[in-house]
Chains A and B, each alone.
Chain A
Amino acid sequence: MTKHRDHIPAKEFLQRLESLRKGSISRRDFLNATGLGAAAAVMSGAMPGLARRAFAQGAIGDRVVIATWPNYHDPADLEAFRAATGAAVDVNVFGSNEEMLAKLQAGGTGWDVVVATNYTISTYVEQGIIEEIDLSRVPNFDRSATDPRFADPGIVDGKTYAIPRNIGTTGYCINTNDLAGGATPATWKEFWDLARGQLTGRAMVHDYQLTAIGNALKYHGYSFNSVDPKELADAEALLIDAKPHLFAINSDYQPSIRSGDAAMSMCWTGDAVQLQRDMPEIAYVLGREGGELWSDFFTIPASAPHKEAAYALIDFLLEPQMAAKEALFHGYPTGDARVDALLPEEMRNSPILYPAADLLNALEFGAAVTLTNPDRAEIMARFKAA
């Protein structure tokens, strides 16, 4: 999360301004460091002309709770929502869909919006965890703007249960300064070999069965989604073998990469963009063998206590200008053509956001079976307990 300070000393402000003029820092960094970005966002949210839809103050309540991913929303945008509607956004951050599912199954989460990944939607619908979206309450959603490949997992039996938010890939980020002049790797095989060799003690793996196991399966050339017992056994053997060499098993890897404690980590698109912004030496690698392509969705749990506010928040974040502003922060493509058109040139040309076709074609969407498969769940738990 970006830290916004309350104030900045005048001298530092002038220094930053000078750096901005000389081009040694980006406009974004300048706005972040000085707090002007947050101030502008709050103001734009508070100005009735800028907030597209007028929300009657208090009509949606004073609170909305969203379960989402690390580094996924600009706090300033959520603050702008509060300024526009009076509802404060309570953010619950998770490292895996499985963790979200566990909480939803246990009940009593109090969540109003859940950001869920493609492979969970059908299970959530079957279990009655999420309810159909009333599209009339999200006027900012335009189905025709999103590639059906990414939007379709949100539709079950012809009904829309989930609205696409972001799309992305799962690769790995690596600090090229730590490669001692070696070539930047290009495969998952190299990831696991580096983790157990040159980068021992400095590699991170997601605390997330889908990607941790999926990318271990890729080492052996199996499908990312395999639930075949023999193939899973091979993946487990690799995970257990790599474990003593790992720096950590954690889905919030940015702090460790930034501090230099870790040199390499399984990584999602947006985190790679965020890291590369500040550390140009970070490379983002999509394994040539394949890996994961995903789309995330806004969903509303059947148990949501503040449904009005949930719809309001989703619609607020879907508005193309706002979605583009969010994309600048989180670094994920939204998959929405209207938003793409608003992004700066360098983002539209970024190979991290929009990988080359041959790399993209090798990727797989996570399969629903992996969410509930008991073997994968137990392998992940054994890997961590080993």
Chain B
Amino acid sequence: MRPSLRTTLFLAPATAWLLCMLVLPLMVVIVFSFGERGAAGGYVPALTFENYGNLGARWAAFKNTLVLAPLGTVTCLVIAWPLAYFLAIKADPRWRTLLLILVIVPFWTSILIRSYAWIQILGGNGLPRIIGELGLGRPRLINTPFAVMVGIVYGYLPLMVFPIYVALEKLDRRLLEASSDLGSPPWRTFLQVTLPLSLAGVATGSMLVFILLMGEFLIPQILGGGKVFFVGNALVDLFLQSRNWPFGAAVAATLVIVMLVTVTLYLKAMKRLSGGRDDVALM
């Protein structure tokens, strides 16, 4: 068998998958986005730009997503990096596997159930009550952007921890020794060796979390009480309540474009940060 034929054969399933599950649906979305809503909802073929003209009506959803998705990503990063560092470098190797399993354990329960648990914790009889008993007033936590952020960080943290852990774990310890031998104080070694070499993990983790967050709808739905609205929620509403498929398709297509732009900018920034290495951002 010629190598090229073999390559083609091996790649066929993935290609077919991408074609049927990504490219075709995306084309449907684009075609639908120029259509009109049927009398009882759904899609009627047409060629109109009206759906894109109406995007302003969902500005708040885009704004919420574009604020909370990066904020959630950064918060995850700030919490995950020290944790990953501890797991990879500081933790006793005998305990490391157990600790890693503990990071995954939450995934054994559905995110839906775990989010419902947060309703109880953040609801009036949960944390606010405890805070109230301490005489610090009774804040409202549930159905606020704060509650959504808590849910996001809680749900997505492991996705950030693991790539950073992997990057730090395979870090060549001899580099640290070399840096020290050449007279660098520990903080300098950290800033000039450890941190830059973890960037690949940071980039991967951030991409994973950010891209998933841009499409998030479950956590805002459950912990935001229908008040903290993401583009994902707008899409669910347009397809599953108001049945305006063409407008929904236009919102979806716009979300894809916004995502492409932000991810491209992010990759460029990461490339510059890591001194022009192409592979860092994609690991």
Q: Which residues on A are within 8 Å of B, measured CB to CB? A: 96, 98-99, 101-103, 105-106, 123, 126-127, 201, 207, 209, 243, 246-250, 255-256, 259-261, 371-372, 374, 377-378, 380-382, 384-386
Contacts and interface: CB of A to CB of B under 8 A. Distances in A.
B225 A250 contact: yes
A377 B41 contact: yes
Contact of B242 (A98, A249, A260): A98
Contacts of B229: 384-386
A372 B41 contact: yes
A259 B125 contact: yes
B215 interface: no
Interface string B226-242: 11010001100111111
Give the secondary structure class of B's interface. loop
Given A259-B124, A261-B123, A261-B142, A250 B241 contact: no
Contact of A381 (B39, B225, B234): B234
A259 B122 CA distance: 12
Given A102-B239, A377-B243, A378-B242, A249 B41 contact: no
Contacts of B233: 384-385
For the complex of A and B, the 5 pairs showing the least CB-CB separation, nearest first, are A248-B225, A377-B242, A249-B226, A261-B124, A372-B40
A101 B57 contact: no
Contacts of A209: 241-242
Contact of B241 (A99, A201, A247, A386): A99
Contacts, number: 91
A102 B124 CA distance: 34
A123 B40 contact: yes
A266 to B, nearest CB: 13
A261 B123 CA distance: 7
Contact of B124 (A96, A98, A126, A260): A260
B241 A96 contact: yes
Contacts of B58: 385
B226 A103 contact: no
Report, as a range, how many residues of chain B touch the other chain. 20 to 34
6 contacts: A105-B41, A209-B242, A247-B143, A378-B242, A381-B237, A386-B229
Contact of A382 (B41, B57, B240): B57
Interface in B39-85: 39-42, 57-58, 60-61
Given A247-B225, A372-B39, A98 B241 contact: yes
Interface of B: 37, 39-42, 57-58, 60-61, 119, 123-125, 140, 142-143, 225-227, 229, 233-234, 237-244
Nearest to A382: B57
A371 B124 CA distance: 35
A98 B225 CA distance: 19
A378 B244 contact: yes
Given A261-B123, A382-B57, A385-B61, A249 B227 contact: yes
Given A243-B227, A372-B40, A105 B123 contact: no
Nearest to A251: B226
A13 B237 CA distance: 46
Given A102-B41, A377-B41, A384 B240 contact: no
A381 B40 contact: no
B125 A207 contact: no
Residue from A103, A201, A249, A381 with most neighbouring chain B CB atoms (10 Å): A381
B240 to A, nearest CB: 5
B41 A101 contact: yes
Given A248-B143, A384-B237, 10 more contacts: A127-B40, A201-B140, A248-B226, A249-B226, A372-B41, A377-B242, A381-B241, A384-B229, A384-B233, A385-B61
A105 B125 CA distance: 40
B140 to A, nearest CB: 6
Given A372-B39, A385-B60, A101 B143 contact: no
Contacts of B143: 247-248
Nearest to B126: A259
Contacts of A248: 143, 225-227
A385 B227 contact: no
